[in-house]
A and B are shown apart, each in its own frame.
Chain A
Amino acid sequence: MNLAEAMKKNAPVLHKGMTTEGVEPAPKKSSNIAKRAQFALGDVEAGFKKAEVIVEGDYSTQTVHQGYIETHACVVSLAADGMATVWSSSQGQFMVRAMCAKLCGMDNSKIKAIPAEIGGGFGGKTVVYLEPVAMMLAKQSGKPVKMVMSRDEVMRATGPTSGGHARCKLGALNDGTLVAGELEMEYEAGAFPGSPVGLGCMTGFAPYNMTDILCTGWDVVVNRPKAAAYRAPGAPVAAFAVESAMDELALKLGMDPLQLRIKNAAIEGTQAPYGVKFGRIGNLENLRAAEEHPHMSVPLGPNQGRGIASGFWFNIGGTSSAEVMINEDGTVIVVTGNPDIGGSRASMALMAAEVLGVDVSRIKPLVADTESVAFSALTGGSRVTFATGKAVIEAAEDAVKDMKRRAAKMWDVELDQVEWENGCAVCIETDKHKPLSIADIAKKSDRTGGAISGKANINAQGAGPAFGTHICDVEIDPETGFVTVLRYTAIQDVGKAIHPSYVEGQMQGGAAQGIGWALNEEYVYSDEGQLLNTGFLDYRVPVCSDLPMINTVVVEVPNPGHPYGVRGVGEVPIVPPLAAVANAVSRAAGVRMGHLPISPPKLLASIDEAK
């Protein structure tokens, strides 16, 4: 049952007694529509009355999987005293502990969750599948239990992200000024309610300065796997609709699509679709970077097209813990509680090195188990470099404070006479004391009060919203419908790139996944409802040979809520590609491709229909 079928008046009802929340008066009849979410600014009807040009479009995307290479796997062992140890790869060992405890009726304190290295998550490993099952089997058998999913099981049983349907209407003046926008969307939730349609409503129009908008989202259950998070949950489908409509508007106005976006760009002080006024953001800086990028001046040949699209993600903070431990030889261990899914350990080490004033090679970053570091929320929401990074900075500052106290003791001076410069304690009272390095202080630590460490347990606030703008060039084969991506440029305001090459890697990875979503990926079901493409041969994610080099432009508009200006990187890059690719193909083919994936048969049929 797909979205359209589930929403039909006489559709089989998945959950008897489930009625649609958020609708007045409250319906009494059971429905597959679990919830309506709505966000509004101003008066959308009045806005459309002012419009001199209106475009309307209908868009859809299919169910897609996160496509992590490592399938779900775990080992659970129970000791004779009832203490359980769980080894698993996830986006949060504390989540694994809490979920296992809840599902298996155990106390948190009876479970130790050890995070394994993770071979890709992208949001799909923010929930448990195998761990509680292995726990119960281990309890029953009295033996350690190992469980590993096959790819087939991953595709059939773990969370994909929602397929969606959207209608988008934009109103503008003849000079391109946007005056009204309406977005109505339905998202598949899978077998149980809880699609990210609300987040789609909050993000679709975010790149634009619009005062009169209405966004409505419907959360719909279908008899498919329960949807799980996937990079920027909910945002790509909404952006696909809005950015495709923006391209249509540019065509109708005879305006350059990039200039249309620049004219209407959300800037500091713009009210977001969810009401809040943006602080310092880099949306316009991204668009200016696109304007100046050499990609924009590459001439296009026959059957080629160029697409542009923007995207937004909130980024979040939350609870994070860190400890910075100084070894006896002056080397440093940085302990955090967030699995490293995108190179975050390197960023933690770099931020600690910056505070301590030492070379990063002196620092070893670790991700600890649930008994070796205080609670940390999930790795997700583009929060780790921002929030856990803030905790690491505070923990390193705490360690520096301690080392300054030790130096004051060693020199027999007042604490206020000690400063920290270039990785050393310096006495400002007199030059008779040689600066003390971390190694010098650590060597004497047993005489000055014992081991040295710093720690921070925080709920990080001040996350910085982020935007991206992508440019895509394609060539279509009008005989086969095959699309070749010729050039691709991803531009993003990251606030501050702590580890620039990992930041670029996140941008490239998100773009590649979005290109797959646009061109190839979809769940294909038989008439009997069996999923047919459960392997990577049939469920086609793009590989290196399918793609050109993804060029990146890292824009840095610092987030005032972080000591180094970090915003977060991992989610924005999957938001623009769906529309960037579709806009490029639509311009190459001369026909709007509003329904993804743009597979060769679908493109050929659209070209034929337009003839």
Chain B
Amino acid sequence: MAKVVLPLEVARSFAAGVTEHQVQGGDVRRLLKDLEQSFPGIAERLGQGFAIAIDGQIYQDWFVEKVRADSEVYFLPAIEGG
């Protein structure tokens, strides 16, 4: 199972403040489906202004990136620059 870590603000709104969750690997789309089943509405929330980091690699624009069964996935605020 892949480890997914939600931003604190999202975890508070959808997952009773629990940030760390185990989900099926595969790809980001599958991962979001799994999260959505447990926490309805979370997929839409995570689609608004969040980047994703899979095994340390940050993707600003994510869609179907691969997620291994032992991957660590973090949702982060999208990073801007100057």
Q: A residues bordering B, Cβ < 8 Å?
A: 21-22, 24, 36-40, 66, 122-124, 126, 196, 198-199, 202, 229-233, 274-279, 314-319, 378, 380-383, 459, 461-463, 561, 570-571
Smallest CB gap from A234: residue in B: B80
A202 to B74, CA, bound (A): 13
Q: Which of A40, A126, A462 is B57 in contact with, Cβ under 8 Å?
A: A462
Question: In the complex the two chains form, is A459's CB within 8 Å of B81's CB?
Answer: no
A123 to B82, CA, bound (A): 4
Question: In the complex the two chains form, is A199's CB within 8 Å of B59's CB?
Answer: no
A134 to B60, CA, bound (A): 33
A123 to B80, CA, bound (A): 10
User: Chain A residues near B12 (CB, 8 Å)?
Assistant: 22, 24
Question: In the complex the two chains form, is B57's CB within 8 Å of A199's CB?
Answer: no
Smallest CB gap from A198: residue in B: B77
Assuming the contacts A231-B82, A276-B56, asked whether A21 and B9 have C-beta atoms less than 8 A apart, the reply is yes
B6 CB → nearest A CB, Å? 10
B5 interface hit (Cβ, 8 Å): yes
Q: Closest 6 A-B residue pairs measured CB to CB?
A: A381-B81, A123-B82, A229-B82, A380-B81, A22-B9, A275-B74
Smallest CB gap from A194: residue in B: B80
Question: In the complex the two chains form, is A233's CB within 8 Å of B76's CB?
Answer: no
Assuming the contacts A232-B82, A316-B60, A380-B81, asked whether A38 and B76 have C-beta atoms less than 8 A apart, the reply is no
Question: In the complex the two chains form, is B81's CB within 8 Å of A276's CB?
Answer: no
Question: In the complex the two chains form, is B61's CB within 8 Å of A318's CB?
Answer: yes
Most chain A CB inside 10 Å of its own CB: which residue of B56, B76, B80: B80
Q: Which of A40, A122, A317, A381 is B80 in contact with, Cβ under 8 Å?
A: A381
User: Chain B residues near A198 (CB, 8 Å)?
Assistant: 77
A202 to B13, CA, bound (A): 20
Q: B residues bordering A, Cβ < 8 Å?
A: 5, 8-9, 12-13, 17, 53, 56-61, 72, 74, 76-77, 79-82
Q: Which of A276, A319, A382 is B58 in contact with, Cβ under 8 Å?
A: A276
A466 to B8, CA, bound (A): 25
Assuming the contacts A230-B82, A380-B81, A571-B81, asked whether A463 and B58 have C-beta atoms less than 8 A apart, the reply is yes
User: Chain A residues near B76 (CB, 8 Å)?
Assistant: 202, 274-276
Assuming the contacts A21-B9, A38-B8, A275-B5, asked whether A316 and B79 have C-beta atoms less than 8 A apart, the reply is yes
Question: In the complex the two chains form, is A279's CB within 8 Å of B9's CB?
Answer: no
A222 to B35, CA, bound (A): 37
A565 CB → nearest B CB, Å? 16
Question: In the complex the two chains form, is B56's CB within 8 Å of A279's CB?
Answer: yes
User: Chain B residues near A37 (CB, 8 Å)?
Assistant: 9, 77
Assuming the contacts A122-B82, A230-B82, A380-B81, asked whether A318 and B9 have C-beta atoms less than 8 A apart, the reply is no
Assuming the contacts A276-B56, A276-B58, asked whether A36 and B9 have C-beta atoms less than 8 A apart, the reply is yes
A126 to B5, CA, bound (A): 31
Seed contacts A21-B9, A315-B81, A316-B60; 9 additional CB < 8 Å A-B pairs:
A24-B17, A39-B8, A40-B8, A123-B81, A198-B77, A276-B56, A314-B79, A316-B58, A381-B79
A66 to B58, CA, bound (A): 28
A314 to B72, CA, bound (A): 19
Smallest CB gap from A121: residue in B: B82
Question: In the complex the two chains form, is B81's CB within 8 Å of A383's CB?
Answer: yes
User: Chain B residues near A22 (CB, 8 Å)?
Assistant: 8-9, 12
B72 CB → nearest A CB, Å? 8
User: Chain A residues near B17 (CB, 8 Å)?
Assistant: 24
A184 to B32, CA, bound (A): 31
Question: In the complex the two chains form, is B82's CB within 8 Å of A571's CB?
Answer: yes
User: Chain B residues near A229 (CB, 8 Å)?
Assistant: 80-82
User: Chain B residues near A463 (CB, 8 Å)?
Assistant: 58
27 contacts between A and B (CB under 8 A): A22-B8, A22-B12, A36-B9, A37-B9, A123-B82, A124-B82, A126-B82, A198-B77, A199-B79, A202-B76, A231-B82, A233-B80, A274-B74, A274-B76, A275-B5, A275-B74, A276-B74, A279-B56, A318-B61, A319-B61, A378-B81, A380-B82, A383-B81, A461-B59, A463-B58, A570-B82, A571-B82
Question: In the complex the two chains form, is B9's CB within 8 Å of A382's CB?
Answer: no
A199 to B60, CA, bound (A): 14
Smallest CB gap from A318: residue in B: B60
Smallest CB gap from A315: residue in B: B81
A319 to B12, CA, bound (A): 32
Question: In the complex the two chains form, is A202's CB within 8 Å of B77's CB?
Answer: yes
A198 to B10, CA, bound (A): 14
Smallest CB gap from A378: residue in B: B81
Question: In the complex the two chains form, is A275's CB within 8 Å of B53's CB?
Answer: yes
A233 to B81, CA, bound (A): 6
